[in-house]
Amino acid sequence: MKIQEADAKSLLLAQGLPVPAWDVARTPLEARTAAQRLFNAGEARVVIKAQVLVGGRGKAGGVKLASSLDEAEETASRILGMDIKGITVRKVLVSGAVDIAKEFYLGAIIDRATRRIVLMASAEGGVEIEEVARQNPGAIHQVAADPQLGLLAFQARGLGLAVGLRDALLSQFVTIAQGLYSTMKANDADLVEVNPLAIVSDKSPDGSVAPRLVCLDAKITLDDSGLARHPRLEALRDLDEEDPTDAQARKLGINFIRLEGSIGCMVNGAGLAMTTMDLVKHYGGEPANFLDIGGGARHETVCGAMELILADSNVKAILVNIFGGITRGDEVAEGLIEAWASQARKIPMVVRIVGTNADEAADMLRKANVETATSLDEAAEKAVTLAKGAAR
Ligand code: GDP
Ligand code: MN
């Protein structure tokens, strides 16, 4: 789950990281009020930033500075309602603007190969890191934290030195890098990214002018499977930007991932779902989705899952593969028949149900004129043939 910059900054702040104060505004007037507060607190300029869950907002015109109340309100009214990469901007972050002396990239990710949290840093900050990785991979430095010991100071220092930091800025960098690591751990995040991490040389809130490091942008992706451990974080889900298909799947309690192919799959169990997809590919087809309806799925769930599959206009055939253990075959068959009969678009379907109440299920399906198969190979092969037939 991706969360908005403002929420990501709250999580960074909770770990003690330096983030300029901000407000979130949903209307130009709210932005004006927020700017007023910041000007009153001594800020000379404010930055107004589109809150959308995509990168490159700056380039798209979604990040602008303003130095008066009127300008802040006017800028907010231009950004609100703007379309950035297909997403409508519904809110903006308003923050005190700083003078940037240099921009760095700092990010923490989970490296699946080493099964560790890896910290990455680059002196080429501000631009998208994928761009740096493509054009100048040598400019990205990384270090893996130890799962027992965490990110040790000497490791963070090595990273800071590699991007050219020294003295006071280097020790600030160490604290910030360790803070990113603790943000990952505290929230079960998959990614915590600060880009830019900026050296600013204007007056800090305490009046001093020594250069300091500040987190100007924040991007956090939370591990969906970890959310059960953090009920508070569930509230950060931005329903405005959630894919309706994902929202529906979550409501049904099923695992659904849309893919590019033409064969809609409905399977119980993640392992069986993957096997089913493998066999579809083996017989020359392409799965349209991964769908695990879970154990003991009732017929309402089956109906809902069918709607999700049929909502994808690329789907040319449906393959259902159910191994009945806790899940009862007849219950699934009932849901399938009901959902299939009510579909507007007539899509061919092949069903394989084995295990608990498989005979009852087969009877029901035959009566409803649904194609059945006994082995998984047969089912996959039939689905591929049906999809090809439908495509012609
Ligand atoms: P992104 O484009 O979606 O990654 O949004 P960012 O928050 O990273 O903002 C894009 C760029 O706007 C940054 O790289 C900065 O150059 C600039 N920017 C953001 N905040 C400030 C600020 O407080 N002062 C100044 N001068 N520039 C800023
Ligand atoms: Mn950024």
Residue among 54, 102, 105, 216 to mutate when testing ligand 1 (max atoms within 8 A of CB): 216
Alpha carbons 200 and 212: distance in angstroms, whole number: 6
pLDDT at 202: 75
Confidence check: pLDDT of 136 > 80: yes
pLDDT at 392: 55
The tens digit of pLDDT for each residue in 138-173 reads 999 999 999 999 999 999 999 999 999 999 999 999
- Is the CB of residue 310 below 6 angstroms from any atom belonging to ligand 1? no
Confidence check: pLDDT of 242 > 90: no
β-pairing, 255-258 vs 22-25, is unpaired
215: CB partners within 8 A, 6+ apart = 9, 12, 17, 18, 19, 176, 194, 197
CATH number at residue 148: 3.30.470.20
Q: Which of 189, 213, 238 is the last residue of a domain?
A: 238
The answer to whether residues 140 and 3 belong to one domain is yes
Catalytic residues, by residue number, are 105, 193
- Number of domain units in the chain: 3
Identify whether the C-beta of residue 105 lies closer than 8 Å to the C-beta of residue 216.
Answer: no
Share of the chain above pLDDT 70, in %: 99
The answer to whether residues 77 and 213 belong to one domain is no
Task: Grade residue 205 by pLDDT with cuts at 50, 70 and 90.
Answer: low
pLDDT at 159: 98
Q: Which of 39, 63, 97 is the last residue of a domain?
A: 97
**Residue 96 CA: which ligand 1 atom is closest?**
23
CATH number at residue 319: 3.40.50.261
Sheet with 349-355, edge to edge strand ranges: 255-258, 289-292, 263-267, 317-324, 349-355, 371-372
The tens digit of pLDDT for each residue in 61-117 reads 999 999 999 999 999 999 999 999 999 999 999 999 999 999 999 999 999 999 999
pLDDT at 284: 97
Looking at residue 75, its amino acid is T
The answer to whether residues 217 and 163 belong to one domain is yes
The answer to whether residues 288 and 180 belong to one domain is no
pLDDT at 204: 63
* Longest Cα–Cα distance in the chain: 81
The answer to whether residues 140 and 45 belong to one domain is no
Q: What is the rounded average pLDDT for all residues in the chain?
A: 94
pLDDT at 82: 97
The tens digit of pLDDT for each residue in 37-66 reads 999 999 999 999 999 999 999 999 999 999
Q: How far is the CA of 32 from the centre of ligand 1 (A)?
A: 20
The answer to whether residues 111 and 222 belong to one domain is yes
pTM (2 d.p.) = 0.83
CA nearest ligand 1 atom 11, residue:
58
Q: Quote the domain boundaries for residue 199.
A: 1-19+100-238
**If you search the block for the tokens 């590699």, which residue do you land on?**
162
The closest of 132, 213, 226 to 170, measured between CA atoms, is 213
Share of the chain above pLDDT 90, in %: 85
